[in-house]
Copies of this chain bind each other. A is one copy, B any other.
């Protein structure tokens, strides 16, 4: 009997969240541990499907770096990175695209379809969804470094996504953009997620990461803050309190908030169903950044 009561309590706790987010768009950046471990992967797929079934419009943007390097190595190529960015010559770009679109994206779409969600895979090519320009990277000495086909987002065509969600699809987007000449560009997935959220004026952008959230003290894992204002976060960034791989993520968050996204969540993708718990329950499991 207590089991019944507990179950009912959880469902009832979800009610106000379902009510609030009905018809709202939530962009989810999917990557890291949540993509690597099978159990976590299934949990994310269930969470996204549930979001769709209760009336939200989830949009998934995924990364996929390690698998790109793996195929390169099988082909005898040596992946090279500058400041965390993959140096992307034409051969690398072709491999990256084959892996991201032809493998990672297919696996996610297939897994969502298995959960009953009408997922559809996309890259920047489809309907001209993501237009890219070459990323101009300056090294520490301020010199331009040629990274090849690494791109910035020039434009996202929100109508392509909106016509798909209106037809009941769950878009799953690989982070590749098309240059003006039809050349594909490799783009950071956090950036793509932020720009997609911005173009859709999404209610939420959720970044599934491998940390438990933002820390008041970068060195102390127990110092997670559960809520922070965008301007405070900007101060943290300026003050050097954000480090390493979190810097581009935080920049993407701030970019999305400026463009009209209401909330950004940095969520610990290592916790099963972290997405679900963040969206449908009173406890968040990460850091929420608000305007």
A229 at the interface (CB under 8 A from B): no
Residues of B within 8 A of A127 (CB): 113, 118-120, 169
Residues of B within 8 A of A128 (CB): 113, 118
Pair B118/A120 contact, Cβ less than 8 Å: no
- A95 nearest CB across to chain B (Å): 9
Q: Which of A30-38, A140-148, A160-168, A186-194 contacts B (4 or more CB under 8 A)?
A: A160-168
Residues of B within 8 A of A53 (CB): 15, 18-19, 22, 54-55
Residues of B within 8 A of A163 (CB): 167-168
Pair A12/B75 contact, Cβ less than 8 Å: no
CB within 8 A of A119: which of B1, B6, B14, B126?
B126
Count identical subunits in the complex: 6
A5 at the interface (CB under 8 A from B): yes
Residues of B within 8 A of A122 (CB): 120-121
Docked Cα-Cα span, A212 to B13, in Å, equals 26
Pair A10/B10 contact, Cβ less than 8 Å: yes
A115 at the interface (CB under 8 A from B): yes
A201 at the interface (CB under 8 A from B): no
Interface centre among A18, A43, A111 (most CB of B within 10 A): A18
- One digit per residue, 1 when the CB lies within 8 angstroms of any chain B CB and 0 when it does not, for chain A 9-30 equals 0111111101100100000000
Pair B106/A19 contact, Cβ less than 8 Å: no
Contacts known (A101-B106, A167-B163); A11 close to B14, Cβ less than 8 A: yes
A227 at the interface (CB under 8 A from B): no
Residues of B within 8 A of A271 (CB): 1, 4
Docked Cα-Cα span, A98 to B100, in Å, equals 9
List 23 A–B pairs whose Cβ atoms lie within 8 Å, in order of A's numbering. Answer: A1-B271, A4-B283, A4-B285, A7-B277, A7-B281, A8-B273, A11-B276, A11-B280, A12-B47, A15-B53, A22-B53, A97-B106, A98-B99, A101-B102, A101-B105, A109-B126, A113-B126, A118-B160, A119-B125, A120-B126, A121-B125, A121-B126, A163-B168
Beyond A54-B54, A54-B55, A97-B103: 4 further Cβ-contacts under 8 Å?
A: A19-B116, A97-B102, A119-B127, A164-B167
